[in-house]
Amino acid sequence: MTAPFSNSQVLTPADFALITQGADVHGLSRPSQSYWQDAWARLKKNRRAIVSLWLIVGLLAFALLGPLLWQIDPARQDIDQISQAPGAERSASIVAPYEFWGGEALSGFDNGTGLRLGAQANSQAVRLLWEAAPDADGFRLYRNIFPVDGGLAFGLPIAEFPNSLAGFYEDRLDLRPDTYFYSLVTLDAQGALTTEYQTLEVPVHRVITVDEVRTRALVSAAAELAVGNEVFLALHPLGTDYLGRDMLSRLMAGARVSLFIGIVAPFLFVLLGVAYGATAGFLGGRVDQLMMRFADFVVALPFLLFMILFQVVFGIGPGESGIVPMLVALVVLSWPSTARLVRGQILQIRQEAYISASRLLGARSSYLVWRHMIPNTMGVILVTLTFAVPSAIFTEAFLSFIGMGVAPPTASWGSMSNEGLATMLTHPHELIFPALLISITVLAFNLLGDGLRDALDARMRSFE
Amino acid sequence: MVTVRRRDAAPEPPWVHGVSPAVPPAQISVIEAVFREILRNNTMWQYTLKRLIQGITTVWFIATATFLAMHNVPGDPLSAERGTSEAIRANLAARYGLDKPLAEQYFIYLGNFVKGDFGISFTQQNRQVNDIIREHFPVSATLGVLAVIFAALGGVLWGALTALYRNRLPDTIIMFMVILGISVPSFVFAALGQLTLVNLNALFGISLLPVAGWGTVSHMLLPALVLGMGTMAYLTRLMRSSMLEIIHSDYVRTAKAKGLPAARIFSRHQLRNAILPVITVLGPAIAAITTGGFVVELVFAIPGLGRYFVQAVQQLDYTVIMGTTVFYGAFLVFMVIVVDLLYGWIDPRVRLQ
């Protein structure tokens, strides 16, 4: 008969001898790890969570250390560079101060037909000339930043001429170093547009006068300046916004607002929620019922509506940023979810045998709460805290976006997004940078929260 | 024709009292079914009544909180009219009942509220708050319902797909989108959506969908999608984890073992059970979507109640603010109750508890 097991071996009485005499019976084969060490080891294995952690560290450095390195007032306006995209040309040539122009073509510009330049076009003035059109009844001059396409979009009407004689026009309206498309459209007797038009593409160069260079301190006071010299305007690595304010310093200031609200508000309301929930859960009975009913009421308040209402109630005085009212409103409205969670945990822990044991050994209530109940809910609380951060940042961004958050000129990513939205087509960087930062921050906290949840609490672990 | 009663027919359960013969389930609406369930079942009755009373107290709490909040706002609604003499101010205060003591104002306000009268707007002459709500709420509600439908359908579909293709390419792609959906604020989605639409419209030379405004179904699609995006991402995650839990359950293994086709296991066993957690969060999701709608309403220039609320807050229009808040609060509270009752109807296990 063959052996029933393929790996069977002949057992001898020696195999059944006691081995308890060995020295290492009670030795631990692996190092002992506390709950937190174990959780940290598990978190370290989660690459997404660790990358997120570093991202958050980076964002905090951006908010706190950034302003030390890039010391530009986020509220200061650089009126030479408005809505400037990052990496835009900063050079400007020095010209003589503006002088009146009577319509005479300068040398080099004195021949040509149709709509043409009368002088070198620069950001001081664009000077246009044109000939008479005998069969027309007038002209209207338009300016566009996009090419005139099929005669449909001429852009901004800047001047109208009631006769069709040869004429000139000097455009000094808010000129930027860009390419402009001027269109001269002939009008009929009723002053309506005809289909006849001529278009001129004008590249505009940035110029600056000596006085302007001096007042803006662009060069050292000792430097010699002459017409024709090149100077460089102030550097804005991420461009400027619609008021000429430096985007980088505004993003840093906004980061401080967003991260302050995003971290402090959850911390405060989680603290409040833990205290409330632990009290209710520990006391139990009628007090618990009453306390939780009140929490239910607060949960039922329409959140964003009441956030706005509270903002109004606390009021933002002149010169205040509106951060504190938002913080208070967030805390007042957000604590019940933590309270509910902690109460549930406490009720569960109250039934555990180690609580009864501790009580039998004479532990007082405060000892039970502080030594047993709170530490055992710590994991859940930490996870709640991490997930509360992105939602607080979102709330701040939403409120600032609709103009109910921080008061201008305080920068916040939400209010910057709102301002950038208006010029999304022409200056996308004003929307993209703050929106990207909000998204990255929220993403990092969400991924870290996922990682923490998986590391800290096996019961809450999701099926991934 | 004689109906033959089968001998082994189960006796009627003892808790059924005086019920009309059962109508085939296909012929009754969901709401009717819930009501039938409520009438048939004694505990369901009690539960419904309890929830309704709770709901009414909650609405009372919301109304009181709003009243107290509004009466602590610095400044008063009459201060908007500059340069009015004391006599005119007193007259105005008397007209709006602002000269009465706070307690009296509170009871008048509660009384009117019970009658369904939210008063007259402060900033718009002779315009009833009720009219404002009646005019603008349907817009917000339409947008919200459409967004919830988008979110729920999308969430269930994507969630089920990710679970079926777990750790494979479709799962990775969808979960990446989900993380984006959770992390990107809706106003950014709105802006990106508009931008894409503008470029698409320019590319094809026709207007595929309007970029902003309100009126036709085509106006609603993009805002509703944007509004539902965050919730859709959240529901996808929820659906995925609940689906994965069910894939490992005993009854699915049994169904597989007895040779059911995969499609039938999916539709009858997995999907039906996995949807339950999605339904529980649908109540709060509706709440979040309807009150969160004003950001989207602002970006897309939709004349909804949310946008009106922001405007009223900026103008300190007391009655409109209070009316809108209480109305929204009541709406949300009863939405959650309805969803909870629906849940009891869908999942018999909940009824037993």
Nearest chain B Cα distance for residue A83, angstroms: 18
Predicted pLDDT at B20: 45
Among the partner-chain residues B73, B240, B333, the one whose CB lies closest to the CB of A300 is B333
Chain B contact set for A417 (CB, 8 A): 185, 187-188
Is residue A228 scored above 80 in pLDDT?
no
pLDDT at A406: 83
What pLDDT was estimated at residue A6?
Answer: 53
| A272 confidence band (pLDDT: 50, 70, 90) | very high
Nearest to A302 among B57, B316, B329 (CB): B329
The answer, yes or no, to whether residue B174 has pLDDT greater than 60, is: yes
Provide the pLDDT for residue A266: 92
Place of tokens 């539902």: B228
**A440 contacts in chain B (CB < 8 Å):** 183
SS3 call for A47: helix
- Residue B38: the pLDDT is 67
Q: A101: which 2 tokens?
A: 């122009």
Q: How confident is the model at residue A163 (pLDDT cuts 50, 70, 90)?
A: confident
HSE-up of residue B253 (Cα within 13 Å, Cβ side): 4
Give residues with Cβ within 8 angstroms of A428, minimum separation 6: A420
Residue contact B313–A421, C-beta within 8 A:
no
| The pLDDT value given to residue B22 | 46
Q: Which of B123-132, B174-183, B344-353 has the lowest mean pLDDT?
A: B344-353
Q: What is the pLDDT of residue A384?
A: 85
How far away is chain A from the Cα of B183, in angstroms, using its nearest Cα? Answer: 5
Residue B346 pLDDT more than 60?
yes
Instruction: Tell which CATH classification among 3.30.230.10, 1.10.3720.10, 3.40.50.970, 3.20.20.70 matches the domain A51-70+243-463.
Output: 1.10.3720.10
Nearest to A309 among B58, B69, B74 (CB): B69
- Residue B331: pLDDT band with limits 50, 70, 90: confident
Q: Say if residues A282 and A350 touch (Cβ distance below 8 Å).
A: yes
Residue B243, min C-alpha distance to chain A (Å): 9
- Taking CB atoms and an 8 Å cutoff, what residues of chain A touch B298? 402
Taking the C-alpha atoms of residue A420 and residue A242, their distance in angstroms, rounded to an integer, is: 8
Mean pLDDT of A318-342: 85
Residues in A closer than 8 angstroms to B70, CB to CB, are: 309, 313
Mean pLDDT of chain B: 78
Percent of chain A with pLDDT over 70: 92
- In this prediction, residue A459 carries a pLDDT of 54
Average the pLDDT over B106-112 and give the result: 84
- Would you state the pLDDT for residue A54? 93
> CA–CA separation, B183 vs A52, rounded Å?
13
Using only the alpha carbons of chain A, give its radius of gyration: 35
- Taking residues B288-294, what's their average pLDDT? 76
State pLDDT tens for residues A422-439.
888 788 888 889 989 999
pLDDT at res. A20: 65
SS (H, E, C) A214-283: HHCCCCCCCCCCCCCCEEECCCCCCCECCCCEEHHHHHHHHHHHHHHHHHHHHHHHHHHHHHHHHHHHHH
| Per-residue b or e along B150-161, where b marks 16 or more CB atoms closer than 10 Å to that residue's CB | bbbebbbebbbb
For an interface test with B, give the residue of A301, A398, A432, A459 to mutate (most B CBs within 10 A): A301
Highest mean pLDDT: which of A163-177, A202-216, A250-264, A420-434?
A250-264
With 80 as the cut, is the pLDDT of residue B350 above it?
no
Asked whether the predicted pLDDT for residue B298 surpasses 60, the reply is yes
Q: From residue A41, how far is each of A48, A337, A386, A453, B316 by CA, in Å?
A: 14, 29, 18, 13, 54
Pair A228, A207: CB distance under 8 Å: no
Average pLDDT of the residues in B261-266:
86
Domain ranges of chain A: 51-70+243-463, 93-209
Of A88-92, B146-150, B193-197, least confident by mean pLDDT is A88-92
What is the Cα–Cα distance from B153 to A180, expressed in whole angstroms?
Answer: 48
Give the mean model confidence (pLDDT) for residues A114-135: 81
pLDDT confidence bin for A7, thresholds 50/70/90? low
- For chain A, which residues lie within 8 Å of any Cβ of chain B, measuring from their own Cβ? 296-297, 300-306, 308-310, 312-313, 315, 390, 394, 397-398, 401-404, 414, 417-418, 421, 424-425, 431, 435, 438-440, 442-443, 446-447, 462-463
Output the pLDDT for position A206.
82
CB contact under 8 A, B321 and A309: yes
CA distances (Å), origin A171, targets A116, A182, A191, A226, B179: 13, 10, 22, 25, 50
Mean pLDDT for the stretch of residues A203-216: 80
- Name the residue with higher pLDDT: A262 or A87: A262
At B14 the pLDDT is 41
Per-residue confidence (pLDDT) for residue A121, from 0 to 100: 82
Q: Which of B57, B183, B186 to mutate to test the interface with A (most CBs of A within 10 A)?
A: B183
Whether B325 sits inside 8 A of A462 (CB atoms) is no
Cβ contacts of A438 on chain B, cutoff 8 Å:
184-185, 188
Q: Which residues of A touch B182 (CB under 8 A)?
A: 442-443, 446
Q: What is the pTM of this model?
A: 0.78
Residues A143-168, buried b or exposed e (16+ Cβ, 10 A)?
Answer: bbeeebeeeeebeeeebebeebeebe
The four Cα atoms A115, A117, A121, A127 give a dihedral, to 10 degrees, of -80
The whole-number pLDDT of residue A77 equals: 77
Within 10 angstroms of residue B297's Cβ, the number of other Cβ atoms is 27
pLDDT tens digit string along A28-69? Answer: 777 777 778 888 888 888 888 899 999 999 999 988 888 888
* Interface test with chain A among B295, B318, B327, B331, by most A beta carbons within 10 Å: B295
Identify the residue among A309, A337, A442, A446 best suited for mutation to test binding to B, counting B beta carbons within 10 A and taking the highest.
A309
Q: Give the pLDDT confidence score for residue A56 in this predicted structure.
A: 92
**pLDDT at B116 (0 to 100):** 78
Least confident piece of the model among A344-358, B59-73, B262-276, B282-296: B282-296
Q: What is the pLDDT of residue A265?
A: 92
Express as a percent the part of chain A with pLDDT over 90: 6
| pLDDT class of A10 with cuts at 50, 70, 90 | confident
Share of chain B above pLDDT 70, in %: 84
- The residue ranking higher by pLDDT, B142 or B99, is B142
Which CATH number applies to A93-209?
2.60.40.10
Residue of A51, A56, A304, A454 to mutate, testing the B interface (most B Cβ within 10 Å of its Cβ) = A304
From A296, A315, A417, residue closest to B188, measured CB to CB = A417
CA gap A3, B86 in Å, rounded: 111
- CA gap A239, A251 in Å, rounded: 11
pLDDT reading at B100 higher than 80: no
Q: How far is B51 from chain A (nearest CA, A)?
A: 12
Higher-pLDDT residue of A418, B39: A418
State whether A390 and B183 contact (CB < 8 Å): yes
Looking at CA atoms only, how far is residue B17 from chain A in angstroms?
34
pLDDT of residue B13: 44
Tell me which amino acid residue A192 is: A
Compute CA distances A301 → A298, A401, B332, whole Å: 5, 22, 9
Which residues of chain A have a CB within 8 Å of the CB of B321?
309
Q: Tens digits of per-residue pLDDT, A341-360?
A: 888 888 888 888 888 899 89
Cα(A265)–Cα(A325) distance, rounded to whole angstroms?
A: 11
**Closest-CA distance of chain A to residue B309, Å:** 8
Q: What is the mean predicted confidence (pLDDT) over B144-165?
A: 89
* Nearest-CB residue to A297 (from B61, B69, B321): B61
* pLDDT over 70 at A247, yes or no: yes
Contacts of B54 in chain A (CB under 8 A): 296
Q: What is the pLDDT of residue B7?
A: 42
Residue-level pLDDT at A21: 61
First CA to last CA distance, chain A:
50
Contact A463 B244 (CB under 8 A): yes
**What is the homologous superfamily of the domain B136-352 according to CATH?**
MetI-like (1.10.3720.10)
A2-16, A26-40, A222-236, B2-16: range with lowest mean pLDDT = B2-16
A200 pLDDT exceeds 80?
yes
- From the list B62, B198, B240, which residue is nearest A300 (CB)? B62
Q: Which of A307, A394, A400, A463 is the mutation pick for testing B, counting most B CBs within 10 A?
A: A463
Calculate the average pLDDT of chain A.
81
Rg of chain B, C-alpha, whole Å: 26
Give A302's contacts in chain B (Cβ within 8 Å): 62, 287, 291, 325, 328-329, 332
